[in-house]
Amino acid sequence: MTSPFGHYIDGSWTRPAPAAPVIDVLNPATLRTAGSVAAGDRDDVDRAVRAARAAFPEWAATPLSRRIQAVADLAVALEANRERLALTLATEMGAPLTFARQAQVGVAIADLEALIDAAKQLPGPRPVSNSLVVSEPVGVVAAITPWNFPLHQIVLKAGAALLAGCTVVLKPSEVAPLNAAVLTELVDELGLPAGVFNVVFGDGASVGEPLCAHPDVDMVTFTGSRAVGERVARSAAATIKKVALELGGKSAAVVLDDADVPATAEQVVRSCFANTGQTCAALTRLLVPRADLEEWHKAVVAATARWQPSDPLIYDTVMGPLASTVQLKRVREHIERALADGATLLTGGPDALPELGPGAYIAPTVLGGVTPGMRIFREEVFGPVLAVTGYDSEDQAVELANDSDYGLSGGVWSADPQRALGVAKRLRTGTVGINGAGLDVGAPFGGYRQSGIGRECGAAGLAEFLESKTVMGARDL
């Protein structure tokens, strides 16, 4: 096995001592070790933050054109290493290789391109009232990223921060950190000033919490669960840091009575089951006219048939394993609780799939008879589980869609796009797709309520890393 990746601090890789603790990364398809990284601690965090703080003045003063060029070079490097990154992602978190090439890596490249376009449009100093208003980088940014779309989330945060003139300390998920190590090798080749980009591997308790609490960190940007997001916010609050949180969702697909049933069923199932259901914006609640429930049940079960799990390294695999056995246990418990609460199993279920070996595989699952009183209607599963609920009127459909602590995503289907738009405007959620429209990396992405604070992607995502300064008496200078 190859040596563990060390941390990347102040422009150099550290080499773990022979007896130093490491984190083994398991391939969820085989449960064999795919690689390992150093297990960081508070001292590693402090060294990385101090390096980022020392590098900040020079990087903040670097012309925007040079920062744009650096990020553009990174996008080119990602493209040149698409296959290597895709294979790494397939191996460490189970994404099907084809999906990893197109979505995991492809979306990350598109993220950077959209951020670069936004940076080119950044306004210069502008007169407002009797003052001059200028935008400045927020400072040292702690970026804490998840395991489900790890590369996408790293480049959204780090790319925007670097373009804004911030320096970065990245803590990637300990479940899937190997793609971050590959990315860091590419960043190292860019020749950025030492300390501009740093990486400390480790878990939340040893690295994440001290990073959030560090007094020299100016902003924390976090993507993950609602529960951990609360801890991040509490830790950052001790020093009144700026916080951006992209958290969970329990998003609804609202299907109106004039929608095409087979085509819509295919699109909803794809949203729910892609990436093995491990997508924060997945549409996991399907709301359909009660009068047509039987037809919808048959259509969704039929659409689910092609989403059978398989080895992620096989070309035509559409769904791999869950990212870990821990996640497998959680998803099974959600399904079992839903059945105990009275939901009907239409297809799939919590049973093991021994024919696929020891990996973290689970069958795509559709549950009928789901009511608002059930936990499956309200709690994020983060697995391939679709809950179907009937409604009696359009108003009730909107009420059911909004009956959630979350508000990250949503979808509306109708043969009349204007009718779909009218319903979309009534949904209390950060993004809504009409008739299957998906993620737009040039537009703001983020949630209402407990789905988070702030926005990512494009101009809105870049703005999160900027502060506004008012210089009074300088309007005409």
Q: Which of 246, 266, 380, 456 is catalytic?
A: 246
Alpha helices in 81-208 (DSSP H): 82-93, 97-99, 106-120, 150-164, 178-188
Residue 240 CB partners (closer than 8 Å, separation 6+): none
Question: Would you state the torsion angle of the CA atoms of residues 431, 432, 438, 444, taken in this order, to the nearest 10 degrees?
Answer: -20
3-state secondary structure of 223: strand
Q: Considering only the C-alpha atoms of the chain, give the largest distance between any 2 of them, rounded to a whole number of Å.
A: 74
Helix (DSSP H) and strand (DSSP E) numbers for the chain: 16, 20
- The DSSP 8-state label assigned to residue 314 in this structure reads S
Whole-angstrom distance, CA of residue 392 vs CA of residue 82: 47
Q: Which of 267, 275, 269, 357 is nearest to 317 (CA)?
A: 275
Contact status, residue 289 vs residue 257, Cβ threshold 8 Å: yes
119/165 Cα distance (integer angstroms): 11
Q: Strand, coil or helix: what is 152?
A: helix
Query: What are the start-end ranges of the H helices in 206-324?
Result: 209-213, 226-237, 261-273, 293-304
| 280, 456, 457, 464: the active-site residue | 280
Say if residues 253 and 413 touch (Cβ distance below 8 Å). Answer: yes
| Phi, psi angle pair for 4, to nearest 5° | -65, 145
152, 108 Cβ separation under 8 angstroms: yes
Respond yes or no: is residue 212 known to be catalytic.
Answer: no
Annotation marks residue 399 as catalytic = no
Residues belonging to the active site: 246, 280
